[in-house]
C-alpha cells in the first residue's frame, strides 16, 4: 500500500507541476515552488499519519473515484470538478507569470500561504475524527459507517469542505493571481452543491444523521451557512 500511495502521490504532484509550469513558460516561479513543496510536505505528513493511525481511511482514500454504491450525481460532480480544477490551476500561471496581468503584494501571498496551513490543519482534524471521510459519496456499510459528531463536526457538518474553501482562497493568493481568486467562487459553488446533495443522501440513508443535522446548523461556515 505504501508503494502504491507513493506512486499515486508523485503522479498527482507531477500533474500539478505540469499545470503550473507549462502555462507559465518557465520554472523560475518561486511562489509555485513554495506551493508544490508545501503540498509535498503536507501529503507526506498526512499519508504517514494515516498509515500509522487509520489505514482503513487511507485505503478508502486510495480507492477509485468511481465505485459501486456511489451516487450517480457524485460521479458527474467529480468529473466536472476535476476539469474545472485543472483549468483553474492552469489559468493562474497565465495570469501571474506568462502575461503578468496580476500584481499581488508579497504580504498578500503570505496570507495565501496561511490559508493553506489552515486548510491542512482542518483536513487533519477531519481525518482524526472521521474514519469515513472518503473522497466519494456513498454509505460505507462494510466499515460500519456511523455519524461523527466530535471535533470540528461539533461546529460544521462538513469541516473538510470548509478546509477546501481556504484552499481555493489560498492558492491564487500565494501564486499571485487575482483572476484566479475571482474564479475561486466557481469551485466553492460546486463544493456547496455537493455538500447539499451529500446531506440529502445521509439524511435518507445514514441512521442518526437527521438528528445531527438538526443540532449542528451550519454546513461550512459557522453563523453563516
Q: Which ranges in 94-208 belong to alpha helices (H)?
A: 106-129, 159-175, 178-205
Domain ranges of the chain: 2-215
Residue 102 has pLDDT above 80, yes or no: yes
What's the pLDDT at 2? Answer: 65
Between 27-36, 65-74, 103-112, 124-133, the lowest mean confidence (pLDDT) is in 65-74
What's the pLDDT at 176? Answer: 97
CA distances 53 to 9, 113, 128, 133, Å, are 19, 27, 8, 14
Residue 11 has pLDDT above 70, yes or no: yes
10 or 106, greater pLDDT? 106
The hierarchical CATH code for the domain 2-215 is: 1.20.120.1630
pTM: 0.92
Q: Chain-centre distance of CA 211, in angstroms? A: 26
**Contact indicator for 79, 134 with CB cutoff of 8 Å:** no
Give Cβ neighbours of residue 47 (< 8 Å, ≥ 6 apart). 5, 9, 58
What's the pLDDT at 19? Answer: 96
Q: Kindly compute the dihedral angle of the four CA atoms of residues 144, 149, 150, 151, in this order, to the nearest 10 degrees.
A: 110
Q: What is the per-residue pLDDT across 53-96, written as a single tens digit (0 to 9) for each?
A: 999 999 888 888 888 778 889 999 999 999 999 999 999 999 99
What's the pLDDT at 83? Answer: 93
Amino acid at each position: 500500500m505504501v508503494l502504491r500511495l507513493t506512486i499515486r502521490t508523485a503522479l498527482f504532484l507531477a500533474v500539478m507541476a505540469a499545470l503550473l509550469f507549462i502555462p507559465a513558460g518557465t520554472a523560475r516561479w518561486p511562489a509555485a515552488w513554495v506551493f508544490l513543496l508545501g503540498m509535498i510536505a503536507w501529503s507526506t505528513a498526512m499519508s504517514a499519519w494515516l498509515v500509522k493511525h487509520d489505514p482503513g481511511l487511507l485505503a478508502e482514500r486510495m480507492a477509485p473515484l468511481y465505485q459501486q454504491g456511489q451516487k450517480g450525481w457524485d460521479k458527474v460532480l467529480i468529473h466536472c470538478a476535476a476539469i474545472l480544477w485543472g483549468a483553474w490551476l492552469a489559468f493562474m500561471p497565465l495570469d501571474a507569470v506568462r502575461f503578468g496581468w496580476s500584481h499581488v503584494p508579497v504580504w498578500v501571498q503570505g496570507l495565501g500561504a496561511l490559508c493553506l496551513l489552515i486548510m491542512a490543519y482542518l483536513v487533519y482534524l477531519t481525518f482524526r475524527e472521521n474514519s469515513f471521510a472518503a473522497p466519494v459519496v456513498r454509505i460505507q456499510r462494510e466499515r460500519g459507517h456511523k455519524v461523527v459528531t466530535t471535533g470540528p463536526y461539533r461546529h460544521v457538518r462538513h469541516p473538510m469542505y470548509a478546509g477546501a474553501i481556504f484552499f481555493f482562497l489560498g492558492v491564487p493568493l500565494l501564486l499571485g493571481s487575482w483572476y484566479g481568486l475571482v474564479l475561486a467562487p466557481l469551485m466553492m459553488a460546486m463544493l456547496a452543491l455537493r455538500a447539499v446533495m451529500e446531506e440529502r443522501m445521509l439524511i435518507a440513508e445514514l441512521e442518526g444523521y437527521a438528528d445531527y443535522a438538526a443540532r449542528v446548523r451550519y454546513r461550512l461556515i459557522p453563523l453563516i451557512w
